[in-house]
Amino acid sequence: MKAYLTRRYRFSASHRLHCDAMSAAENAMVYGKCNNPYGHGHNYILEVTVSGSVDGATGMVCNLADLDGFVEQEILERFDHQNLNTLPEFQEAVPTTENLCIAAYRILEHGFRHAHLEKVRFEETMMNSFEYAGGAELRR
């Protein structure tokens, strides 16, 4: 039987929203406070949802130790307490939470082999959250 497993992770990082293709005035208008050249930071919450049939012997969609280990090594170690603008993922893309969703999705999609990736969800603050399912519609 098919089940969906969701795990929440936390990391803290700084960023600055700035697009080189726009003028200083445009950047200030589009990104407001987030354009501050010194950057600012958030406590991000990353939610990863994977799916698959529940293994008859283990009762699991995938072993949580595998998912935790992968996310720890490939995402948290790279993103936690970093300036997102310095990471390779954000040399071309502005480190908005939208783009953070896509970056995390791609890392999981390419590297995590123990279950099917359904979606990633980010909370940037308690007031806003973002979800990405590889371009697919979200499951209700």
One-letter amino acid at 79 equals F
Judged on CB neighbours under 10 Å (0-12, 13-18, 19+), 44 is: buried
* Identified binder of other proteins from the candidate list 23, 33, 59, 92, rule CB under 8 A: 59
Q: With binding defined as CB under 8 A, does residue 23 bind other proteins?
A: no
Q: With binding defined as CB under 8 A, does residue 2 bind other proteins?
A: yes
The single-letter DSSP state of residue 95 is -
Task: For other proteins, give the closer residue by CB, 49 or 97.
Answer: 49
d(CA 108, CA 91): 20
Q: Active-site residue 124, yes or no?
A: yes
* Identified binder of other proteins from the candidate list 11, 63, 87, 107, rule CB under 8 A: 63
Segment interacting with other proteins, rule: CB under 8 A, options 11-19, 25-33, 56-64, 126-134: 56-64
The single-letter DSSP state of residue 55 is P
Q: Active-site residue 81, yes or no?
A: yes
Location of structure tokens 């980010």 = 122
Location of structure tokens 């200030």 = 28
Residues in contact with other proteins, total (CB under 8 A)? Answer: 19
d(CA 18, CA 35): 6
* Identified binder of other proteins from the candidate list 29, 64, 73, 109, rule CB under 8 A: 64
Say which of 34, 42, 74, 114 is annotated catalytic. Answer: 34
Q: Active-site residue 109, yes or no?
A: no
Active site residues: 34, 81, 124
